[in-house]
Amino acid sequence: MNDQQLLRYSRHILLDEIGIEGQERLLAARALVIGAGGLGSPAALYLAASGVGRITLVDDDEVDLTNLQRQVMHTTARVGQPKVASGREALLQINPDVEVRALRERAEGARLAELVRDADVVLDCSDNFATRHAVNRACVAAGVPLVSGAAIRFDGQLSVYDVRDPASPCYACLFPEDSRFEEVACSTMGVFAPLVGIVGAMQAAEALKLLGGFGQALAGRLLMLDGRAMEWTDIGVARHPACPVCATRP
């Protein structure tokens, strides 16, 4: 690290758990953020501020006025721009030293698999089950840890699915693809603005721990937040032996 980096990241370096070695691991790391909206905004902002070397933003949507109540990476002046372009501008304003790749696309199939293989950690900040399951399958196949968050109304949830740990479940162990989950969207059900900030910031925290090699990851636990009462519920979750996605992994 040069003198400017030592100064910029000095508050991380002061932490015994991170230090210079941990910060250097962050500077060399590659994070893939799926979704540049409510969750992706705080997650990506903290990854950039923390010095993650390369951040890839994937989203096919444009900034809309209704987004600005909670999607803090975007501004009124950037309404109508692709979210990934707006996000790239915001991240580079915070930290011009990081590399930000802005991909305006809905990554699927082989393309999604390629992006996941090229990452050290994946943050699923999407808003639908189909994308979450696709990202989970790609992470299991590539052996890349997944940090998954969700938020709707006043309810949030967060977990880490790290297939490098033989005991860690994958997303499909908890939420099987053939289950009948109600697909709800904030466009119809609403979402409490600070809730996505809380969950997205915690996704960044979990990703930084995985990349920097410090702390204990949230793998094997599901955190659920009731934003009305501001109460957390912590549930232990186990790998499903018959999971069609991860049961055959070593």
Which amino acid does the sequence have at 80? Answer: G
User: Measured between alpha carbons, how far is 224 from 149 in angstroms, rounded to an integer?
Assistant: 10
**HSE toward the beta carbon, residue 96, CA cutoff 13 A:** 2
Q: Which of 142, 133, 194, 143 minimizes the C-alpha distance to 166?
A: 143
Q: Which of 216, 215, 210, 219 minimizes the C-alpha distance to 25?
A: 210
Q: Are 228 and 179 in contact (CB under 8 A)?
A: no
Task: Point out the residues that are catalytic.
Answer: 186
Q: Is 240 left (phi over 0), alpha (psi -120 to 50) or beta?
A: beta
Q: Are 17 and 215 in contact (CB under 8 A)?
A: yes
